[in-house]
Amino acid sequence: MTRIAIGATLALVLAATAAHAENPTCKKVRFADVGWTDIQVTTGTTTTILEALGYEPEVKTLSVPVTYASMKNKDIDVFLGNWMPSMTADIKPYIDDKSVEVLGVNLDNAGYGLVVPQYVADAGVKSLKDLGAHKDQFGGKIYGIEAGNDGNRIISTMISKPENNLQGFELVESSEAGMLTQAEKAMKKNEWIVFLGWTPHPVMGAMKIAYLDGMGDSGFGAATVSTNIRKDYEKECPNAAKLLKNLKFNLAMEGAMMEPVLKSGADPKATALEWLKKNPDAATPWLEGVTTFDGGDAKAAVKAALEK
């Protein structure tokens, strides 16, 4: 009888564990990373936690348009870099056809738009419409980041509108690092430059720059960053989705992780892991209602992984 009771108890335990374990098809979690430093470190942070929970995250570097097309095709599960409202035009078709879902905001109090050095603002360039009167001083150039980026698209639209008085300006597409190098070079010489800026960002945060006014409904200005998932992902993989839904970052957290990546070329994921080891309590609220992949104690698993 004792053996029967023990066997029955063990069977119940195994059944309960199986009931709480994630579907085997959910073990691999496919992320899109568009190459922006903030998204690299938040993706690195999230994949580190998922690995501790027994998942096998996979990260692909894709442009914004390819990211959303891939989510629609169910080739990508998660994107942590939906900057809003600037990416409204990028995501709207996929929200409309319900192939992409917004799981929640992962960052508040962000900012996005055109910036100039403070000495340029002090000279009177405070609004978008002020740029046109100083075209020669700016060399007729506005510096952006990689092709396909939402910010570049907004700048191109601004240039094309006669009312903005930007005739003759050209958008210079580069990378985040290339744009910042150009900006730092210009500012060291006290030259005039206008470029795409955003917060959080440790390098731009240390620069004496000013955001331009007069952006209207372009999408530039105060911003939030949301977590996107492909259609049905939350239903198919509820445990992983619960973690993703719980994710909340802040400006200080992201800035601290971005700084070594931008200043010394550190690996974003390694930087995220180092930050988590120094700030293990940051992950605690993310793990509420979450288990390991096989239904175990998520907090214990993450704690053990960060103590290695």
Q: What is the pLDDT of residues 192-237, one digit of tens each?
A: 999 999 988 988 888 999 999 988 888 898 899 999 999 999 999 9
**Percent of residues, the chain, with pLDDT higher than 90:** 83
Q: What band does 142 get if pLDDT is binned at 50, 70 and 90? A: very high
Give the pLDDT confidence score for residue 290 in this predicted structure.
97
Q: Is the pLDDT of residue 1 over 50?
A: no
E strands along the chain, which residues? Answer: 28-33, 56-61, 78-84, 100-117, 141-143, 170-172, 195-199, 209-211, 221-230
Could you tell me if 159 and 211 are in contact, meaning their C-beta atoms sit under 8 angstroms apart? Answer: no
φ/ψ (deg, to 5) at 113: 165, -175
Give the pLDDT confidence score for residue 13 in this predicted structure.
43
Q: Which residues contact 3 (CB under 8 A, 6 or more apart)?
A: none
Q: Which residues contact 235 (CB under 8 A, 6 or more apart)?
A: none
Q: What band does 274 get if pLDDT is binned at 50, 70 and 90? A: very high
User: What dihedral angle (degrees, nearest 10) is formed by the CA atoms of 50, 52, 53, 57?
Assistant: 30
Q: Is the pLDDT of residue 298 over 90?
A: yes
Could you tell me if 79 and 51 are in contact, meaning their C-beta atoms sit under 8 angstroms apart? Answer: no
Give the pLDDT confidence score for residue 20 in this predicted structure.
64
The answer to whether the peptide bond before residue 85 is cis (omega within 30 degrees of 0) is yes
Q: Is the pLDDT of residue 62 over 80?
A: yes
Average pLDDT of the chain is: 92
Rg of the chain taking only CA atoms, in angstroms: 23
Q: Taking residues 25-31, report their average pLDDT.
A: 97
Coil, strand or helix at 290: coil
Question: Measured between alpha carbons, how far is 103 from 119 in angstroms, rounded to an integer?
Answer: 41
Question: Measured between alpha carbons, how far is 126 from 123 in angstroms, rounded to an integer?
Answer: 9
Distances (CA, A) of 235 to 62, 181, 240, 241: 25, 44, 10, 8
Give the pLDDT confidence score for residue 15 in this predicted structure.
42
Coil, strand or helix at 143: strand
Kind plus residue range of the DSSP H or E element containing 246: helix 238-246
Q: What is the pLDDT of residues 154-182, one digit of tens each?
A: 999 999 999 999 999 999 999 999 999 99
Q: Which residue segments constitute the domains of the chain, with CATH numbers given? A: 25-110+223-306 (3.40.190.10), 112-221 (3.40.190.100)
Coil, strand or helix at 220: coil
Bridging pattern class, strands 100-117 and 141-143: unpaired
Tokens of 112: 């996005």
Q: Which residues contact 300 (CB under 8 A, 6 or more apart)?
A: none
φ/ψ (deg, to 5) at 111: -145, 155
Q: Taking residues 75-100, report their average pLDDT.
A: 96
At residue 238, what is the residue type? Answer: P
Q: What band does 50 get if pLDDT is binned at 50, 70 and 90? A: very high
CA 27 to chain centre: 22
Could you tell me if 54 and 74 are in contact, meaning their C-beta atoms sit under 8 angstroms apart? Answer: no
Give the pLDDT confidence score for residue 132 in this predicted structure.
95
Q: What band does 263 get if pLDDT is binned at 50, 70 and 90? A: confident
Tokens of 278: 């120094």
Q: What is the pLDDT of residues 91-137, one digit of tens each?
A: 999 999 999 999 999 999 898 999 999 999 999 999 999 999 999 99
Task: Spell out the SS3 assignment of 37-104.
Answer: HHHHHHHHHHHHHHHHCCCEEEEEECCHHHHHHHHHCCCCCEEEEEEECCCHHHHHHHHHCCCEEEEE
Tokens of 184: 């730092």
Residues in the chain: 308
